[in-house]
Amino acid sequence: MHTAFPAHRPALATTSAAWVRLILNGAAQSGMSPEPLLKSAGIAREVLDDPGARVSQQQVTLLWQAVSAAYPGDDLALICGRGFQPEQAPVISYALRSSASVKEAVERLLRFHKLIGEALNLRVTAKRGGLLIRIEPQQPVPALSQQTALVAMAGMIRWLLSEDQPPLQATMQCSLPTQPQAWADWFGCPPHFAAAENSLYFPAEVLQRAVPSRLPDAVRHERAARQALLQLREQNAAAHIRYWIEQALQLGEPDREWVAGCLGVSVSTLQRRLRLHGQTFRQLLEETRREVALRLLREGVALNDIALRLGYQEQSTFQRAFRQWFSVSPGRWRRDVTRLSD
């Protein structure tokens, strides 16, 4: 295979299922049913029952779009963000609550916030004798997601201290809402809207405050968070391999050399990463084909086009493979899924 795509890694950020539940809980408070929203975003219901599950940023973006399209107000981020409970992300919340001070907790949050979501970055800097916390996107992210994260951050500081600790200043990039007082009540100060950034500014003395009801065994909680972050990075490595296999499928049968080149690694490094996940290249290729086939069938793509997208020259070859995978024809599978969703 000689044709090549640009050799760079795509943005494959994922978000904790806890954040998806947060969005859905806010939507439910606003009178929306979760099932149509999940369907619009392509998120399986059972994902929400798995505490360690991750959802792609693309799906989270689709979910935000579906929720905002169904909600006429401009306080959706406030409704969703106020519902954030750190206990819903137990690994990171235990690490924070085992900190000796707010400063130590913030340092841990900087290290481990990717466990909640990878698409948003957290920046903490000293400014004019205070502490500036900024929410910044790592890739294109809905404005609602950034606003919700800022609202949740204010709640997290309050949770850490077990008391109200209003920021000296809150800034938001969104325009002035119809009910600004509701936002001021939550933050404890009137936010500056239509600002250049989404940020919270706290007095420096907050950093020195002890964390009340500190959890014991800080080393164990720190180790658990580190292990979770390592597992996330390993998942990301597998996701990148899957991505390039899917791209290569459209050009024919992918080979290890081509995929390794797109990842910027040697074939031996690619093989080593696959062994870490207990897979061979052939197994991951077939697994990727199965997942892509199901996705395209749900999207209503013609069988002949699906065959080509999977690297098969003939539709009949795809149909035989599908029967081997699922013991049913692709046409029958699509009819059954369509009937169940009606």
- Domain region containing 67: 14-218
Confidence grade of residue 340 (pLDDT, cut at 50, 70, 90): low
Ranges assigned E (strand) in 153-311:
169-171, 198-203
| Together in a domain, 190 and 310 | no
| Together in a domain, 175 and 316 | no
Residue 5: inside a domain, yes or no? Answer: no
| Together in a domain, 199 and 284 | no
CATH number of residue 83's parent domain: 3.90.1520
Per-residue pLDDT reduced to its tens digit, 99-143 = 999 889 988 998 888 888 888 888 888 777 788 999 998 888 899
| Together in a domain, 305 and 250 | yes
Residue 299: inside a domain, yes or no? Answer: yes
Q: How much is the pLDDT for 200? A: 95
Highest mean pLDDT among 158-167, 181-190, 269-278: 181-190
Query: What would the 3-class secondary structure string for 45-78 be?
Result: HHHHHCCCCEEEHHHHHHHHHHHHHHCCCCCHHH
pTM, full prediction: 0.70
Q: How much is the pLDDT for 342? A: 54
| Residue that wins the pLDDT comparison between 195 and 85 | 195
Residue 39: inside a domain, yes or no? Answer: yes
Work out the mean pLDDT of the chain and round it to a whole number.
86
Q: How much is the pLDDT for 126? A: 78
| Together in a domain, 110 and 256 | no
Q: How far apart are CA 28 and CA 149, in angstroms?
A: 18
At residue 167, the 3 state secondary structure works out as coil
pLDDT at 58 over 70: yes
pLDDT at 6 over 70: no
pLDDT at 187 over 70: yes
| Together in a domain, 27 and 69 | yes
| Residue that wins the pLDDT comparison between 341 and 202 | 202
Is residue 55 within 8 A of residue 20, CB to CB? The reply is: yes
Confidence grade of residue 8 (pLDDT, cut at 50, 70, 90): very low
Residue 6: inside a domain, yes or no? Answer: no
CB atoms within 10 A of CB 319: 17
Q: What is the mean pLDDT of residues 7-27?
A: 78
| Together in a domain, 50 and 156 | yes
Describe the crossing of helices 218-249 and 90-97 by its angle, rounded to 10 degrees. 150
Q: How much is the pLDDT for 341? A: 54
* Domain count for the chain: 2
| Together in a domain, 159 and 236 | no
CATH number of residue 271's parent domain: 1.10.10.60
Is residue 14 within 8 A of residue 56, CB to CB? The reply is: yes
Q: Where a domain ends, among 197, 218, 239?
A: 218
CB atoms within 10 A of CB 173: 16
Residue 48: inside a domain, yes or no? Answer: yes
| Together in a domain, 243 and 171 | no
Q: What is the mean pLDDT of residues 274-298?
A: 85
| Together in a domain, 174 and 34 | yes
Q: What are the angstrom distances between the C-alpha of 338 and each of 129, 185, 191?
A: 60, 46, 47
Q: What is the mean pLDDT of residues 76-88?
A: 89
Q: What is the mean pLDDT of residues 72-84?
A: 93
